[in-house]
Structures are given as structure tokens and as C-alpha cells.
Amino acid sequence: MNYSKLDSRKIKDIFAKRAMFFLCLCILSLTLFIAVGLWHKSAAIFSLVSLKSVIFSTAWRPFSGQFGLGGFIIGTFWVTAIAMLISIPLSVLTAIYLSEYAGRRLRNISEPIIDLLAGISPVVYGVWGVIAIVPLVRNWLMPFFSRRLPFFPFASDNFTGFSVLSAGIVLAVMTFPIIISISKEALKTVPLEIREASLALGATKWQTIKYAVLKKAWPGIIAAVILGLSRAFGETMAVLMVAGCAIGVIPKSIFDAGYPLPALIANTYGEMMSVPLYDAAILLAAFMLLTVTTLFNVIGWGVLLHIHAKES
């Protein structure tokens, strides 16, 4: 036996393993490096204001040294919540239909269309929102709710149509492909024997899906929702074009204008060099956006681990 060749193969295997581990560690460390860099650049603002006042204050007057991000945080959560309330049920039900009910021909037609929706540029979605969704909200939805539910929090003094509802609808459409595709793949992983056993016991098609298939595919569906939520929370251009972006306006209705954090960063980044601490405030907003997105993912993975632990 040639021991020199055997030793050389072992050395190559060890080198390849350690090299891939190092490269994997570099990729996984990018989030930490980005977070540390943003925090380091934004820490200068705390020489003027406290973190509490930055988060909870709604006064955004950089020329006067007031950098309250509260209004932008509220706008971000409004838009994201509306998007997910629209997107989650429609996407999951669509994935169930395509996976369990639709014929092969319809599935073959729908998959390229879903992939096409995922590949459309956010700017195109924003233009579509301006020419289609904003008039729909202004001319149809706002008058409908204002006449029939005048005391409900749908009423608003904003009659332009540029609102958190418009931004939420556009974001919901943008998250459809992610949630549908991943949910459909999760449903496909459920063994056929589970469906056949449920049907053999006398369950209907819907009962089989509800009590057998969804129970097994639930972790994958949760992962799909998490990815859709991350996409909606961090989207910039489409939201910037349809949300209204009115500084100092706190949304109290779905028809009010909003100013999410991603839109603030994109809209004001070029102005920050001329005002003291403006750059620190904008980078702090970016750090907060990264932190919340990471927190959502950690919570989601915690749910997935809990579900896997219960199943095992």
C-alpha cells in the first residue's frame, strides 16, 4: 500500500474541510460585521440624544438637532402588517390549491408566472402601484369605507391615495412569489402515504389537507412566511413611491400616508453630509432595520425548532 498517497489524500481532505469551514464562517459573519459597522458609525448621535428619545420621539427636525424615528418605525410596522395580513392567507391557500387540487397543466403554467413575479424589479412594482393601486384606494376604497363606516378607523383626511394601505397592497403582491413557492415545496415534501391513509379512514380531501398535510408541512410554511416578512420589512423603492412619505404624519388609519424606515434611508441619504449628526441618525435607522429583521428571523427559527422538537 502506498502510504504517501494515502497521507496526501488525508491532508487534502483536511485542508478542503477547513477551507470550506473558513469560507462558511466568513459568510455567516457578514451580518455581524455589517451590524458592528452601522452601530459604530451611528453611535455619535448618542452624544446629543438618548436611544429612548430616538425610538419613541416623533419629532424629525435634523436642522434643529431632533432625530426622532418613532414616526418612521410606526409607518414601517403599519405597512408590513397590512402586507402580511393580505399576503399570508392568499399565498398559503394558493399554494394548497396548486399542490393539492390543481391539475398538472395548470401547475406547469403557474410556476413560470410565479417565478416571473419574483423577478420583477421593485421599481416596476412601484410604478404599477402609482398607476393602479393608488387610484383604486383613492377613488373606490376610501369613499366606500368613509360613507359606510364613518366612525371606524378607516376614515382619513388624506384623499390622495398615497397611503400605508397602497404600500401594503404592493408589498403583499411582492411577497406572493416567495410564500407561494416555499409553501408549495413544503406541501410536496409530505409523503403520499399520509394522504392515502387519511382518505382510507374516511376523511374528505379538505379534512386530509387540514389535519394531516398542513400539520406535517407547517414548519416549511412558517419559514415561507418569515422570508416574506423579511422581504416586506426591508423593501424600499416600491414603498417609497406609494406610501406618501409625509414627514411628521403618524398613520392613524390605513388611508393615512406613512414613512417607513427603508424609504427614509433611501430618500435622505444624499442630504446627510450637510447636517451635523444626520449621517449618524440615518445609519442608526439602518441598524434598527437590520436588528428588527434579524429578530424576526430568530423568532421564526425558534418556532421551527419548537415544532421539530414536538414532532420528534
CA gap 270, 65 in Å, rounded: 18
Contact 258, 220 (CB under 8 A): no
Q: How many CB atoms lie within 10 A of CB 20?
A: 10
In this predicted model, what pLDDT tens digit does every residue of 135-171 receive, in sequence order? 999 888 888 777 666 555 556 666 788 999 999 999 9
Is 172 among the domain residues?
A: yes
Q: Is residue 234 part of a domain?
A: yes
Would you say residue 15 lies in a domain?
Answer: no
Pick the range with the lowest mean pLDDT from 63-72, 79-88, 270-279, 288-297: 270-279
Q: How does pLDDT run across 226-245, given as a tens digit for each residue?
A: 888 888 888 878 888 899 88
pTM: 0.86
**What pLDDT sits at residue 255?**
87
Domain with 128, as residue range(s), is 47-311
Residue 135 makes CB contacts below 8 A (sequence gap 6+) with 161
HSE of 281, CA atoms in CB hemisphere, 13 A: 30
What DSSP letter does each residue of 178-212 carry, written as one string?
A: HHHHHHHHHHHTS-HHHHHHHHHTT--HHHHIIII
Looking up cell 412569489 gives 177
276: in domain: yes
CATH number of the domain at 242, please. 1.10.3720.10
Q: Is residue 68 part of a domain?
A: yes
Q: Which residue has the higher pLDDT, 247 or 26?
A: 26
Tens-place pLDDT, residues 50-107: 888 888 888 888 888 888 898 898 998 899 999 999 999 999 999 999 999 998 899 8
Q: Is 32 domain-assigned?
A: no
Q: To which residue does cell 423593501 refer? A: 235
* Domain annotation covers residue 107: yes
Position 87 in a domain: yes
CB 15 within 8 Å of CB 7: no
Collect contacts of 287-290 with beta carbons under 8 A, ≥24 apart.
287/35, 287/38, 287/39, 287/42, 288/55, 288/69, 288/73, 288/261, 289/76, 289/233, 289/234, 289/261, 289/262, 289/265, 290/31, 290/34, 290/35, 290/38
Q: For 203-227, write each residue's pLDDT tens digit.
A: 999 999 999 999 888 888 988 898 8
- How many independent structural domains does the chain possess? 1
Q: Give the separation between CA 285 and CA 293, rounded to whole angstroms.
A: 12
